[in-house]
Amino acid sequence: MKEKSDAIGHFKKFKAMVEKETGNAIKVLRTDRGGEFNSQDFKDLCEDHGMIRHLTAPYTPQQYGVVERRNRTLLEMTVLKAKQVPNYLWGEAVNHASYIINRIPTRAVKDSTPYELYYHRKPNIEHIRKLDDRSQKTVHKTQSLTRTQIGTGRRNMTKC
């Protein structure tokens, strides 16, 4: 997001995606008291769709215990993985860590993964590659010149 005012548009897209994929409506939305969540448009959206809003107290990240812990885990995984990765790929490193976390068992979900809870099927993990896999790519098929590439995990909207 470039501006906080973009939050409502992003949330509408997220809501539509989640509800289409799961067949379930979002019933409760917990947010902080940031301005992007307190606009009249956001309040109207929640009311129009029957969503209950839970607003946390100001400056109390502990009310988001699970989320805060997951964010810390993502950052720790990213720091470990990104040692040899250029800074401009930091966002890709976080996405890669999140992708993996959603496909491995957690303490909160016994004998399952977050992916399985959401999609009701086991995840395919055969395509997952190490974040820092380096490879050579031919610049053009008629040339012998190659360029080093850094693997950043799975791309959205692709099979691998």
Strands 146-150 vs 134-138: parallel, antiparallel or unpaired: antiparallel
Q: What is the pTM of this model?
A: 0.65
Task: Write the single-letter amino acid at 136.
Answer: Q
Tens of pLDDT, residues 59-70: 777 777 777 777
Give whichever of 2-11, 68-77, 86-95 has the largest mean pLDDT.
2-11
- Return the half-sphere exposure (C-beta side, CA atoms, 13 A cut-off) of residue 69: 7
How far apart CA 135 and CA 147 sit, in angstroms, is 8
Mean pLDDT for 80-100 is 75
pLDDT confidence bin for 160, thresholds 50/70/90 = very low
pLDDT at 116: 93
How far apart CA 27 and CA 87 sit, in angstroms, is 38
Say if residue 32's pLDDT is above 80.
yes
Indicate the Cα dihedral angle 116, 109, 22, 78, nearest 10°. -80
pLDDT at 135: 55
Say if residue 27's pLDDT is above 70.
yes
- Return the half-sphere exposure (C-beta side, CA atoms, 13 A cut-off) of residue 5: 0
pLDDT at 121: 92
Strand partners, 148: 136
